[in-house]
Amino acid sequence: MPHELTRLEAARAYERREAASIPAGDRPAFHLTPPVGWMNDPNGFCFYDGLYHLFFQYYPYDTVWGPMHWGHATSADLLRWTYRPCALAPDTPADAAGCFSGSGVPLPDGRLLLIYTGVQPGAADGGRDAQMQCIAVGDGRDFAKDPANPVIPAGLLPAGFDTADFRDPKIWREGDRYYCVAACRHRQDQGSILLFESPDARRWKFVTVLDSSRDRLGKMWECPDFFPLGDTQVLLISPQEVCADPDGALHPGDITAALLGRYDPAAHAFARQAVQAVDDGLDFYAPQTTLAPDGRRILVGWMQCWAATRQGPRPHRWYGRMSLPRELFVRDGRLCQRPVREIETLWQAETRLTGVTVEAPAALPGIRGRCLDLSVTADAAANPGCRGFVLHFAEADGRFAEIRWDAQAGGLLVDRSRCGTRQDLPHIRRVPAAPRAGRLTLRLILDKDCAELFVNGGERVLSALIDAPEQAAGISFAALGAPVRLDLVQHPLAACPPVAMF
């Protein structure tokens, strides 16, 4: 009898064969894409056995969402990735309808534990799929699912919580205890983050509800993360169906939010003090963090939005990518981000222009490309009549993506509607932006169709996919009101597409 492949073996054979047929040039230069097929949320992001491990929601067989597997990649520097074999497939009764998002933690015995949401077909009220938390333990390549799965079953949920929306566990170790936060929908309080505790990551008990939306911050919350950053405690969430406030600080729809506050670990009490978007852009969701060995808190998100996934085009045999990993820090009460410093290892020859005065739309010598790290500093006090400037990128044949800083309008705008896209989606985002010490700084990281903009040293980040042809590499500047004085530093970025080690 020929051996029939398990679902995991089939996925591994398929990705090995198909990934080999995708040319490296078909991928971004350094943003991680799936070997083949579909990718969504980052999962199991951790530093284990000398490498960063990044797993992800994965359906290898098509460029649309399907029964969820976990894909896997490793890297020493968060930029040069190696594909590893698919880690989890939906192949047990506890996860027959999918291995949804989750996280990872190295165990004291040297093994790596993954905790994820197992989806059981038809097991919730009304025949809906049920979601419960499962674990798998392994050596960083092969993982054995625990026969006791689900280890956090519906029975552990307090009254009023719905097992049909109970997912995305994020685990960490604290002394001799394990904790995990997971998202769940409550009948009245809606999106909620639940805290669980365990002595061994297998036997769990419910501890408390850390926070809830109560109809003010979306409906269901997804993909929590919970960690201290200096004196601040951060609860990251991805709320769905957010209704924008009148001040427009959060855009409507599915967003990412950071709840900043204080945490009393003895009482397990989280006191929320502030709410902000994690990323104000058009394509960013479900971020997850890990602690680097040097103490940096690194965040990576799915650089896509669900709304866009319902439309074409699908130009490649892969779909979905991860954001550039970012270092988190708190400044003036805000969660801020900067690109991981490892990006400097991709820097090519520098172009530096100092004190350039721009008025009418103009290209500047040497400033051009679709794969670059470009910093622009505007001296807001140099010319009294100047109220800001406009930067066009991915420009060719009258099409472009636009960044517009207008001090009078009080903000910064990113607009990709005229870059050549045919998608009927939101294309514009506006955020407040004011000079700091007389200067407004922008850092634009471009990697073909991935654009990530860091404003004023990372107090705001806007990520967006730019649906413009790759040859559209023009960059130009124009002043608003009166000439603007700019300092620019540009580094083209070297390509380091993932290598396969299946």
Residue numbers of the site for ligand FRU (CB under 6 A)? 40-41, 57, 68, 100-101, 117, 167-168, 222-223, 285-286
Smallest distance from the beta carbon of 43 to ligand FRU, in angstroms? Answer: 8
Q: Are residues 208 and 235 in contact, defined by beta-carbon separation less than 8 angstroms?
A: no
Smallest distance from the beta carbon of 192 to ligand FRU, in angstroms? Answer: 14
Q: Kindly tell me which of 168 and 327 has the beta carbon lying closer to ligand FRU.
A: 168
Alpha-carbon gap, residue 224 to 162, rounded angstroms: 17
For residues 16-55, b (16+ Cβ closer than 10 Å) or e, as one string?
Answer: bebbeebeeeebbbbbbbbbbbbbbbbbbbbbbeebbbbb
Smallest distance from the beta carbon of 100 to ligand FRU, in angstroms? Answer: 3
Smallest distance from the beta carbon of 183 to ligand FRU, in angstroms? Answer: 7
Q: Kindly tell me which of 57 and 456 has the beta carbon lying closer to ligand FRU.
A: 57
Cβ-Cβ contacts under 8 Å for 383 (sequence gap 6 or more)? 482, 483, 484, 485
Q: Kindly tell me which of 41 and 279 has the beta carbon lying closer to ligand FRU.
A: 41
Smallest distance from the beta carbon of 98 to ligand FRU, in angstroms? Answer: 7
Using CA atoms, how far residue 352 sits from 52, 338, 368, 373, 490, in Å, is 33, 20, 13, 12, 6
Q: Kindly tell me which of 306 and 502 has the beta carbon lying closer to ligand FRU.
A: 306
Residue by residue, DSSP assigns 97-162 as: T-EEEEEEEE-TTS-EEEEEEEEETT-SGGGPPEEEEEEEEESSS-EEEPTT--SB-GGGSPTTEE
Q: Kindly tell me which of 51 and 308 has the beta carbon lying closer to ligand FRU.
A: 308
Smallest distance from the beta carbon of 161 to ligand FRU, in angstroms? Answer: 15
Residue in 86, 69, 88, 142 with CA at minimum distance from that of residue 112:
142
Residue in 334, 218, 323 with CA at minimum distance from that of residue 276:
334
Q: Are residues 387 and 406 in contact, defined by beta-carbon separation less than 8 angstroms?
A: yes
Residue in 224, 227, 215, 223 with CA at minimum distance from that of residue 173:
227
Smallest distance from the beta carbon of 302 to ligand FRU, in angstroms? Answer: 7
Smallest distance from the beta carbon of 57 to ligand FRU, in angstroms? Answer: 4
Q: Kindly tell me which of 92 and 117 has the beta carbon lying closer to ligand FRU.
A: 117
Which residues are bridge partners to 231 per DSSP? none
Alpha-carbon gap, residue 35 to 87, rounded angstroms: 13
- Class of residue 456 by CB neighbours under 10 A (exposed 0-12, middle 13-18, buried 19+): buried
Alpha-carbon gap, residue 232 to 270, rounded angstroms: 11
Alpha-carbon gap, residue 91 to 69, rounded angstroms: 10
Q: Kindly tell me which of 101 and 232 has the beta carbon lying closer to ligand FRU.
A: 101
Q: Kindly tell me which of 456 and 463 has the beta carbon lying closer to ligand FRU.
A: 463
Residue in 254, 260, 215, 220 with CA at minimum distance from that of residue 236:
260
For residues 341, 344, 345 and 348, what is the CA-based torsion angle, rounded to 10 degrees? Answer: 170
41 counts as catalytic = yes
- Class of residue 126 by CB neighbours under 10 A (exposed 0-12, middle 13-18, buried 19+): exposed
Q: Which of 26, 41, 139, 264 is catalytic?
A: 41
Smallest distance from the beta carbon of 255 to ligand FRU, in angstroms? Answer: 12
Alpha-carbon gap, residue 242 to 105, rounded angstroms: 31
Q: Kindly tell me which of 71 and 388 has the beta carbon lying closer to ligand FRU.
A: 71
Q: Are residues 253 and 307 in contact, defined by beta-carbon separation less than 8 angstroms?
A: yes
Alpha-carbon gap, residue 170 to 147, rounded angstroms: 21
Active site residues: 41
